[in-house]
Structure 1
Amino acid sequence: MTALFDTVLVANRGEIACRVIRSLRRLGIRSVAIYSDADRSAKHVTDADTAARIGPAPARESYLNIGAVIAAAIETGANAIHPGYGFLSENADFARACADAGIVFIGPGVDALEVMGDKIRSKNHVAASGVPVIPGDSRPGLSDADLSESAEVVGYPLLIKPSAGGGGKGMEIVTTSSELPGALATARRIAAAAFGDDTLFLERLIPQPRHIEVQLLADTHGTVIHLGERECSLQRRHQKVIEEAPSPLLDADTRRRIGEAACRVAESVGYVGAGTVEFLVSAEAPDKFYFMEMNTRLQVEHPVTEEVTGVDLVAEQIRIAAGHRLTLGQNDVTLTGHAIEARVYAENPERGFLPATGRVIALDEPAGEGVRVDSGIAVGSEVGSFYDPMLAKVIARGANRAEALARLDRALAETSILGVRTNIEYLRLLLAEPEVQRGDLDTSLIDRRLPSLSFARPDAELLVAAALMVHAERSAPSAGAAWGVLDGWRMTGARPIEYTFGVEEGETATVSVLAAGEAASVRINGGEPHTATLRQLGDGRSALSLDSGVRMLSLARTATGVWVGRDGFSWELPLLSRGQRLALRLAAIARPDATRAPEVRSPMPGTVISVPVAHGSVVDAGATVVVVEAMKMEHKLTADVAGTVSIAVQPGDLVKLDQVVATLTPLVPDAAPSDAEPNHPIVEGDTA
């Protein structure tokens, strides 16, 4: 039997790099991580047997630098490279460079990468193989004029798609002809920036579509099998959020037919390795399916297939790349139980899913029967703006779908990440939706339900816990400093100590604490007294007794306040100084008719990629004035009033959180917002 590799370099980062390294370790293969300057202390670096620096933080100068990756492989003695997903995983030039250097690329051949990497070419190729495709216009090299003319034939609503790339980047839904020019411009810009190719094509928008994909394995000896399907219909802006296997929609006959169709797609290009064929299925006609694209790599959601089949897909990729035959045939594949995965992102759902940055200061990941976590973070991990904001994936398996759903919800409730905002609360709200519980899914469900979701705010429990944590720290006696203890004691009697926290912008809450032994009497904003006790258990976990109830919370102290968490919800509560409290009071009593030039600020650190208006021009309210890219997402910053715009940045500039990028002089003085209301730009997030 052909031996496996001695050393494999993992050309990726984050949770997928950690996941690949685990399989390499189980196979007894030495692992090599690569890292940019931003990832010098990242988890995937410390998990690997050795690591090599490949460049500065920007991905194009590090993880996308083919020469640097190949050089690192040669330097560390790697026999093979596993590309993970994203970055160079579907790059034919990278596969060629590996071959030229005598290094095995753990993935398909160049021909398959080229055919399936071009969505126009792949769609036409698959149609010729007898697999149904979505109606549209996939002729190569279509100009904007061609696309506009073709749109009238295809009909609205339709979908604009880039020919290169994947992950929903650059896809635009168009419902009327008037929207088409702007959507084409956006799609071309995103495609060019993300893939270096702005070629577009059109597809008819399938009503109530369900996104169902089939996992494949193919060896170098001509055997191709499928491992069942995954349902990936819970998406926001074409980005998958929650995935499961098997699909609750398909019956046995459709499952067999869609699996056979996926195998025909792979066979038509001589596919080798692990891959996924994606289909759209209309909820109105669940027995009909249409080829959408083939992903010539491992998918983010591959763990749910592993959980229901018992197959380690990464290990199979490695064995196939080493020339081994598949050890199982199609009849050996069985789907047992049900598995569901939720993607945990560093983002703020209640503020338009803006990417979040920060440092992980406390981390508690779930465990237990049927629960798996694929994570790329650890305490101390820096979450910046250079890369995708996915932090981890939480996967649950059960004997049936209901049990898997319940286990996943419980696992998310037990997940605590403090130091950076996450979408965990949002994931739990989605799982609780009646349609999700019933399995009545489609790709627009999240967009329909999101406006009705209500997000939590810091309540009495969290405010009291934060105050008691700070109070315990400040009242702890130290040698020779008894008079400096802030315990509220006075010669005239004990007085409460007040702690004021910022809850939201412009909103505060004050907690007074009067300690009496272990217990304390607390009041929030001068309200009724409560009896409270806080026990810190370590690892960021604390037990709060408030009146007659006891709750487990997550708490972490920072230099500026306290991070609090409970049941998947987390929040930063800044502890306000006297000067900060005074500034807020002054802002609250500022003249409501005071005029000023509203500022447009960047709600996240990132890079300016476009300034669509000229300095000094007059813009309408809602007009996009600056476009910022952060964490692979494109964000349009818009004017909240009509006026003359003064631009403070240019394309290519790096901007910080809350940096002023433009200023507006309102056309009508009384149209300016009150100083009592903070001015935040409307932000529209485009997948990029």
Structure 2
Amino acid sequence: MFSTVLVANRGEIAVRVIRTLRQLGIRSVAVFSDADADARHVREADTAVRIGPAAAAESYLSVERLLDAARRTGAEAVHPGYGFLAENAGFARACADAGLAFIGPPASAISLMGDKIRAKETVKAAGVPVVPGSSGSGLTDAELVSAAEEIGMPVLLKPSAGGGGKGMRLVRDAAVLAEEIAAARREAKSSFGDDTLLVERWVDRPRHIEIQVLADAHGNVVHLGERECSLQRRHQKVIEEAPSVLLDEEVRAAMGAAAVEAARSCGYVGAGTVEFIVPGGDPSSYYFMEMNTRLQVEHPVTELITGLDLVEQQLRVAAGAPLGFGQQDVRLTGHAVEARVCAEDPARGFLPSGGTVLALSEPQGGAVRTDSGLTAGVDTGSTYDPMLSKVIAYGPDRASALRSLRAALADTVILGVQTNTGFLRRLLAHPDVVSGDLDTGLVERDLQALLPEGVPAEVYAAAALLAADRPARTRGWADPFDAADGWRLGGTPAWTVHHVRLPGRDPVEVRTRPSGSGTELLLAPDGDGASVSATGRIVARTGDLVTVELDGVTHRFSHAASPEGTWLGRDGDAWHVQRHDPVAALLGGAGRTGADTLAAPMPGTVTVVKVAVGDKVAAGQSLLVVEAMKMEHVISAPHAGTVTELDVTPGTTVAMDQVLAVVTPDEEEGDR
């Protein structure tokens, strides 16, 4: 076994790999960019090396700097995690040339399976069924259009390199094919450095099911069952589970055998995933989509139902050891479900968010596991992938695992950063999710029902109560027993109960107690006097800014917005909110700068500028593209008119709501 391993990644996957290295007594080396100097993976590793500025191209994607870090720290092996260079054949070869073990498959397998076109041809020759689509590499835009017309709409555009849904475009209208191809090429180039595309037939209401495989260098290949990954948004997985409720033992064995053959066809070694598209009405008709030649984000659900540590298996295989078990030894026990917690704002179309983590509470232990790269005080930024953590729950059956995961997400607090945890809880409670009647289009079809409806009254009550809580500062000693703040000697502060009345509603119960530098609030939904086991949340106040988190949604309030400066008044034994809307800026508020002004919907970088000052534009015309966390967002003209102001160029870094351009409407004929 190795004595020192360099982890060529960041965030939660780096922390997760470091955890197994520690358990095995292996020295871990972290790498970090300037943006991650104080990150959790840096703190938890045995040693850490700076590899460059924040830009991934100059740090995490720099083969030379990573190899230099390995040389300087005496590393014998490199674990690439997932993303960045994990599926880069050139990096795997460079590691081998430098005398380092690459904890992943051979470069030849990465190269073959990383090219989706060659991969389909290879597994098809091995007898694995594939999705009908284009053939040949390096197709021009015109050839892609022709192939799409031959296949028939709808079609799916896919980058030949990479994975994770980046650059994928579902096209139902042939009239927009050219525009979608251009956008898919840009995103593929940005994410993978390769804009080669292929086109495939779109299977309506499909299930996305993948098989985990393990192979050693001695010819042994096994599969570890399947994962259901059908709950997706924009082709990005949001919830994964193992096993799938769709498959019976016969189909599971057949798909597992097909995955093993796919792995053998490319000489695979290590942990990998073979992905299939499966018609929900006929699970026996499955098609190979692609093979991910790395550890998957969702690997923990397989670990929980098999009892295997997949990172440990990767390490042992990379060190030359044979698998210590055969297919007959693999047992799937119980059920596991994982939710991806991301820095994104569901109320703003899931645009990437960012900010400083003011307070953090993540469930861990028992039936719940959280893989996270977060610490309180860290700035999540907008430079890298928006995924912050993964919350995974295990149970003896699917129903108990779903219940545990919903409860765990309710206990997850990432205050100061807008996340999707509330959305995930609502999705897990969706009747079709509970019943197992899933497909990859479920989220998009029912999206509106999965989004929050305005600001809950409890949030206004909590924010008002906290803003009004300006404890008097006294000189000299104050008797703590005279304070009505729940303080008690030698123990956790008790809850102080308040009743806050909002206009037109019964009083809402809010319980408070000191918690570090802030205040912990217990909200009783709908004023029903819920017990202390109700949803507990932490709030923070910095100057005139109050932040409240409830059910995974972060709300920010500015006390300065109230001219009177008073949010609460007494009415008998209860408080009542004198100003029901003490909000200067709630997350999700768009258009604050006027109908003619185009503002950045998220912090990021301007990648494309299609107009200049003085240009005439039509309503809905694409003007700019802003990219953040590997996601593109097109800025379009709100109406016909003239570009009278343009404040950015390609490469400009912008903050959320920063003005990008102004489009002045043309005068009507009658006004001239």
Q: Does 1:406 align with 2:403?
A: yes
Tell me what 1:510 maps to: none
2:609 alignment partner AA:
V
Deviation at 1:87, TM superposition (A): 0.3
Deviation at 1:191, TM superposition (A): 1.6
Deviation at 1:316, TM superposition (A): 0.3
What's the CA shift string for 1:555-601, capped at 9, x where partnerless?
A: 1222342221234343222222556999x99x9xxxxxxx9771101
2:514 alignment partner AA:
Q
Tell me what 1:618 maps to: 616
Stretches of structure 2 that go unaligned for 5 or more consecutive residues are 484-495, 567-580, 585-592
Query: Pairwise mapping of residues 59-70 of structure 1 onto structure 2 (< 5 A)?
Result: 59-70=56-67
Deviation at 1:466, TM superposition (A): 2.7
- SS for the counterpart of 1:136 is coil
Tell me what 1:605 maps to: 603
- SS for the counterpart of 2:473 is coil
- SS for the counterpart of 2:182 is helix
Q: Does 1:30 align with 2:27?
A: yes
Structure 1 residues 112 and 657 mapped into 2: Cα distance closer, same or farther (>3 Å)?
same
Structure 1 residues 531 and 216 mapped into 2: Cα distance closer, same or farther (>3 Å)?
closer
Q: Does 1:477 align with 2:473?
A: yes
Instruction: Give the conservation status (yes or no) of the 8 Å contact 2:360–2:376.
Output: yes
- Superposition TM-score, scaled by structure 1 size: 0.86
Q: Does 1:86 align with 2:83?
A: yes
Q: Does 1:536 align with 2:514?
A: yes
Percent of residue pairs bearing the same amino acid type:
56
Instruction: Give the conservation status (yes or no) of the 8 Å contact 1:611–1:626.
Output: yes
Deviation at 1:520, TM superposition (A): 6.2
Instruction: Give the conservation status (yes or no) of the 8 Å contact 2:423–2:451.
Output: no
1:163 alignment partner AA:
S
- SS for the counterpart of 1:164 is coil
Structure 1 residues 670 and 332 mapped into 2: Cα distance closer, same or farther (>3 Å)?
farther
2:35 alignment partner AA:
A
Tell me what 1:666 maps to: 665
Tell me what 2:556 maps to: 572
Structure 1 residues 654 and 126 mapped into 2: Cα distance closer, same or farther (>3 Å)?
same
Tell me what 2:388 maps to: 391
Tell me what 2:655 maps to: 656
Q: Does 1:273 align with 2:280?
A: no
1:283 alignment partner AA:
G
Deviation at 1:526, TM superposition (A): 9.9
Instruction: Give the conservation status (yes or no) of the 8 Å contact 1:363–1:540.
Output: no
Deviation at 1:176, TM superposition (A): 2.4
Instruction: Give the conservation status (yes or no) of the 8 Å contact 2:595–2:638.
Output: no
Tell me what 2:491 maps to: none
What's the CA shift string for 1:615-636, capped at 9, x where partnerless?
A: 3222222222110110111111
- SS for the counterpart of 1:455 is coil
Structure 1 residues 519 and 128 mapped into 2: Cα distance closer, same or farther (>3 Å)?
closer
Instruction: Give the conservation status (yes or no) of the 8 Å contact 2:467–2:559.
Output: no
Deviation at 1:113, TM superposition (A): 0.8
Q: Which moved more, 1:172-181 or 1:427-436?
A: 172-181
Distance 2:34 2:440 in 1: 37
Instruction: Give the conservation status (yes or no) of the 8 Å contact 1:456–1:569.
Output: no
Query: Pairwise mapping of residues 356-367 of structure 1 onto structure 2 (< 5 A)?
Result: 356-367=353-364
Instruction: Give the conservation status (yes or no) of the 8 Å contact 1:232–1:244.
Output: yes
- SS for the counterpart of 1:358 is coil
Q: Which moved more, 1:57-66 or 1:632-641?
A: 632-641
Match of 2:369 among 372, 376, 391: 372
Instruction: Give the conservation status (yes or no) of the 8 Å contact 1:597–1:665.
Output: no
Instruction: Give the conservation status (yes or no) of the 8 Å contact 2:190–2:630.
Output: no
Structure 1 residues 622 and 522 mapped into 2: Cα distance closer, same or farther (>3 Å)?
same
1:63 alignment partner AA:
Y
What's the CA shift string for 1:642-677, capped at 9, x where partnerless?
A: 2112322111111122111110111147999xxxxx
Match of 1:556 among 540, 544, 550: 540
Distance 1:339 1:127 in 2: 32
1:534 alignment partner AA:
T
Structure 1 residues 543 and 445 mapped into 2: Cα distance closer, same or farther (>3 Å)?
closer
Match of 1:436 among 433, 437, 462: 433
Structure 1 residues 643 and 399 mapped into 2: Cα distance closer, same or farther (>3 Å)?
same
Tell me what 1:152 maps to: 149
Structure 1 residues 531 and 542 mapped into 2: Cα distance closer, same or farther (>3 Å)?
closer
Distance 1:336 1:547 in 2: 40
Instruction: Give the conservation status (yes or no) of the 8 Å contact 2:559–2:565.
Output: no
- SS for the counterpart of 2:440 is coil
Tell me what 2:488 maps to: none
Deviation at 1:432, TM superposition (A): 0.9
Tell me what 2:447 maps to: 450
Distance 1:368 1:609 in 2: 43
Distance 2:670 2:430 in 1: 40
Instruction: Give the conservation status (yes or no) of the 8 Å contact 2:103–2:318.
Output: yes
Distance 2:347 2:46 in 1: 40
Deviation at 1:200, TM superposition (A): 1.3
Distance 1:287 1:657 in 2: 47
2:38 alignment partner AA:
S
Instruction: Give the conservation status (yes or no) of the 8 Å contact 2:212–2:272.
Output: yes
Distance 2:282 2:632 in 1: 35
Deviation at 1:477, TM superposition (A): 2.5
Structure 1 residues 156 and 141 mapped into 2: Cα distance closer, same or farther (>3 Å)?
same
Q: Which moved more, 1:330-339 or 1:567-576?
A: 567-576
Deviation at 1:531, TM superposition (A): 7.8
Tell me what 1:102 maps to: 99
Deviation at 1:174, TM superposition (A): 1.4
Query: Pairwise mapping of residues 498-537 of structure 1 onto structure 2 (< 5 A)?
Result: 522-524=500-502, 534-537=512-515
Instruction: Give the conservation status (yes or no) of the 8 Å contact 1:597–1:666.
Output: no
What's the CA shift string for 1:456-482, capped at 9, x where partnerless?
A: 54433333333333333x233321799
Instruction: Give the conservation status (yes or no) of the 8 Å contact 2:209–2:226.
Output: yes
- Superposition TM-score, scaled by structure 2 size: 0.88
Deviation at 1:453, TM superposition (A): 2.7
Instruction: Give the conservation status (yes or no) of the 8 Å contact 1:465–1:534.
Output: no
Number of residue equivalences: 626
Deviation at 1:416, TM superposition (A): 1.1
Distance 2:477 2:9 in 1: 52
- SS for the counterpart of 1:359 is coil
Query: Pairwise mapping of residues 116-515 of structure 1 onto structure 2 (< 5 A)?
Result: 116-472=113-469, 474-479=470-475
Deviation at 1:96, TM superposition (A): 1.1
Deviation at 1:51, TM superposition (A): 0.3
Structure 1 residues 312 and 197 mapped into 2: Cα distance closer, same or farther (>3 Å)?
same
Deviation at 1:275, TM superposition (A): 0.3
- SS for the counterpart of 1:394 is strand
Distance 1:341 1:540 in 2: 30
2:474 alignment partner AA:
S
Structure 1 residues 21 and 331 mapped into 2: Cα distance closer, same or farther (>3 Å)?
same
Deviation at 1:130, TM superposition (A): 1.1
- SS for the counterpart of 1:46 is helix
What's the CA shift string for 1:382-435, capped at 9, x where partnerless?
A: 110000011110001111111111111111111111011110000011111111
1:536 alignment partner AA:
P
Stretches of structure 1 that go unaligned for 5 or more consecutive residues are 488-517, 588-594, 673-688
Distance 2:670 2:446 in 1: 33
1:360 alignment partner AA:
V
Tell me what 1:494 maps to: none
Distance 1:597 1:230 in 2: 46
